[in-house]
């Protein structure tokens, strides 16, 4: 990968952090000095596995990553989706053994950053530390929202909510426009994220399509009726905490 694209990695990270926290020029400069080891990873590949003790974090540059846990009987629950700019395993900075797995969905380009370098930058730049702490807290806020869905919302509502959430999150990093975005997941992945079966995911998607709420071509989602979809899913973006100054 070229020098230009490596720097693009820093900009992805900066865009993401600036979408949730206020950073000064000195902070940005410090982030740009972080050594990032860029790699291409094929689809459906585990990056870090439950039980691992990683010494680096991975920054997603292109593609889509998920975190998941699996039951002894092999039932998988996807815990989160991650979009470019995210560091899906940032928690490993302070939780040294992985309690879940991080994996690519489509093929991805990832940037690996040593824990030691990240720790140094959080030690020397309190704003960066605060931004990253805040990032992990938003991560947890999304978990809470998903818990409400898994425990108390219907299949249809969960799907609507998820599609609204991904739209808003991708928008914040410039990867969504007019309700149209890439979401390279299978219906099985959606099922595992929503706590449903793939068959029922299919039923729900049929319903949302015939109701004119959305369209799906390959892996691109088009939300045709934002108002209707967000009302159905009771989507309120507060929990994403996307306002950096609040």
What does the binding site for a second copy look like in residue numbers (CB under 8 A)? 51, 67, 69, 71-72, 75-77, 79, 91, 94-97, 99-100, 123, 126, 129-130, 133-134, 136-141, 143-148, 150-153, 192, 194-195, 234, 238-239, 241, 246
Kindly list the distances between the CA atom of residue 164 and the CA atoms of 96, 136, 161, 223, 228, in Å, as whole numbers in the listed order.
33, 21, 5, 8, 11
As beta bridge partners, residue 76 has 70
The least distance separating a second copy from the CB of residue 58, rounded to whole angstroms, comes to: 17
Residue 145 binding result from a second copy, DNA, none, given CB thresholds of 5 to 8 Å by partner type: a second copy
Q: How far apart are CA 193 and CA 174, in angstroms?
A: 24
Query: Which two structure tokens, joined as six digits, stand for 160?
Result: 């609507």
* Closest to a second copy by CB, 38 or 114: 114
Q: Is 77 in the site for DNA (CB under 7 A)?
A: no
The sign of the dihedral angle between the CA atoms of 159, 154, 196, 192 is positive
Residue closer to a second copy, measured from CB, 138 or 184: 138
Interatomic CA distance for residues 81 and 88, integer angstroms? 9
C-alpha span between 212 and 216 (Å, rounded): 11
Does residue 107 touch DNA according to CB under 7 A?
no
Name the binder of 199 from DNA, a second copy, none, CB < 5-8 A by kind. DNA
CB of 205 to DNA, least distance (A): 6
DSSP symbol at 232: H
Q: Give least dist CB 94 to DNA, A.
A: 34
Q: Which of 188, 187, 189, 180 is nearest to 220 (CA)?
A: 180
Please give the Cα distance from 220 to 182 (Å, whole number): 4
Q: Could you say whether residue 156 binds DNA (CB under 7 A)?
A: yes
Nearer to a second copy, 113 or 142 (CB): 142
How many Cβ atoms are within 10 Å of 220's Cβ, its own excluded? 12
Least separation in angstroms between residue 158's CB and DNA is: 8
Which one among 15, 127, 202, 242 touches DNA, defined by CB under 7 A?
A: 202
CA distance 186 to 143: 21
Q: Specify the DSSP class assigned to residue 139.
A: H
Provide the minimum distance between the beta carbon of 227 and DNA in the complex, in angstroms, as a whole number: 22
Residue 115 lies near DNA (rule: CB under 7 A):
no
| Residue among 37, 107, 198, 242 that touches DNA (CB under 7 A) | 198
206 lines the binding site for DNA (CB under 7 A): yes
Q: Tell me which residues touch DNA (CB under 7 A).
A: 44, 154-156, 186-188, 191, 195-200, 202-203, 205-206
């Amino acid at each position: 990968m070229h020098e230009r694209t490596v720097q693009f990695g820093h900009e992805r990270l900066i865009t993401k952090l600036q979408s949730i926290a206020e950073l000064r020029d000195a902070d940005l400069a410090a982030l740009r000095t972080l050594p990032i080891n860029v790699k291409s990873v094929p689809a459906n590949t585990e990056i870090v596995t439950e039980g691992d003790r990683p010494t680096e974090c991975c920054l997603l540059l292109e593609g889509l990553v998920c975190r998941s846990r699996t039951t002894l009987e092999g039932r998988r629950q996807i815990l989160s989706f991650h979009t470019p700019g995210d560091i899906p395993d940032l928690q490993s900075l302070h939780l040294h053994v992985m309690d879940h797995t991080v994996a690519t969905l489509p093929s991805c380009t990832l940037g690996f950053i040593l824990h030691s370098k990240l720790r140094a930058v959080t030690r020397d730049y309190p704003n960066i530390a605060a931004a990253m702490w805040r990032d992990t807290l938003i991560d947890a806020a999304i978990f809470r929202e998903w818990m409400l869905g898994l425990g108390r919302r219907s299949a249809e509502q969960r799907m609507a909510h998820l599609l609204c959430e991904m739209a808003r999150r991708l928008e914040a990093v410039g990867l969504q426009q007019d309700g149209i975005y890439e979401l390279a997941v299978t219906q099985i992945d959606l099922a595992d994220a929503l706590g449903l079966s793939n068959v029922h995911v299919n039923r729900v998607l049929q319903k949302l399509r015939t109701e004119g709420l959305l369209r799906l071509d390959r892996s691109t989602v088009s939300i045709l009726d934002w108002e209707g979809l967000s009302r159905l899913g009771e989507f309120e973006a507060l929990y994403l905490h996307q306002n950096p100054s609040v």
